């Protein structure tokens, strides 16, 4: 019987990626490596959603529009709010610039999210 950790590793490797477990954020795809928060192992359904999300990024193969649509229209992001509440370091996924596995990296979609958010707050502020 294969455990969830190994099953996940096998799935990721079969899709042409490496897998690294980390203790912050939720899930990332950087080059050919999928990074997953290891606390997801305690929540198999969320783990499945996150793994498939990252593998869809892999299939998008650098297509920025497809990645954007995936990140903003994937309904599973709402299910992850509870996870972020439970594991506060998961909230680091919302940082536009972050250090993952000793690499500094930035996330264009998160930057766009915050720009839209700030503009929204400013416009809403004027309305009120
Ligand atoms: Zn994503």
CA 67–ligand 1 middle distance (angstroms): 7
- Domains belonging to the chain, first-starting first, are 4-127 (3.30.2010)
CA 109–ligand 1 middle distance (angstroms): 8
Integer CA distances (angstroms), 118 to 29, 41, 115, in order: 26, 34, 5
- For residue range 79-117, what is the model confidence (pLDDT) as tens digits? 899 999 999 999 999 999 999 988 899 999 999 999 999
CA 54–ligand 1 middle distance (angstroms): 6
Order of strands, sheet of 27-30, starting from the edge strand that comes earlier in the sequence: 18-22, 33-37, 27-30
pTM attached to this predicted model? 0.89
CA 93–ligand 1 middle distance (angstroms): 10
- Give CA–CA dist 56/4, Å, rounded: 20
- For residue range 39-86, what is the model confidence (pLDDT) as tens digits? 999 999 999 999 999 999 999 998 999 999 999 888 777 889 999 999
- In the structure encoding, which two tokens stand for residue 46, read together? 């969320």
3-state secondary structure of 103: strand
The structure tokens 């972050």 sit at 98
CA 77–ligand 1 middle distance (angstroms): 9
CA 100–ligand 1 middle distance (angstroms): 15
């Amino acid at each position: 019987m294969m455990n969830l950790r190994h099953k996940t590793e096998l799935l990721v490797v079969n899709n042409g990626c490496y897998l690294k477990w980390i203790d912050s954020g939720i899930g990332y795809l950087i080059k050919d490596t999928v990074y997953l928060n290891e606390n997801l192992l305690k929540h198999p359904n969320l783990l499945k959603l996150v793994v498939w999300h990252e593998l869809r990024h892999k299939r998008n193969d650098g297509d920025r529009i497809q990645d954007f649509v995936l990140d903003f229209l994937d309904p599973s992001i709402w299910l992850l709010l509870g996870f972020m509440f439970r594991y506060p370091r998961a909230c680091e996924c919302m940082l536009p610039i972050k250090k993952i596995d000793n690499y500094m990296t930035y996330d264009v979609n998160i930057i766009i999210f915050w720009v839209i958010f700030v503009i929204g707050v400013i416009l809403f502020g004027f309305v009120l």
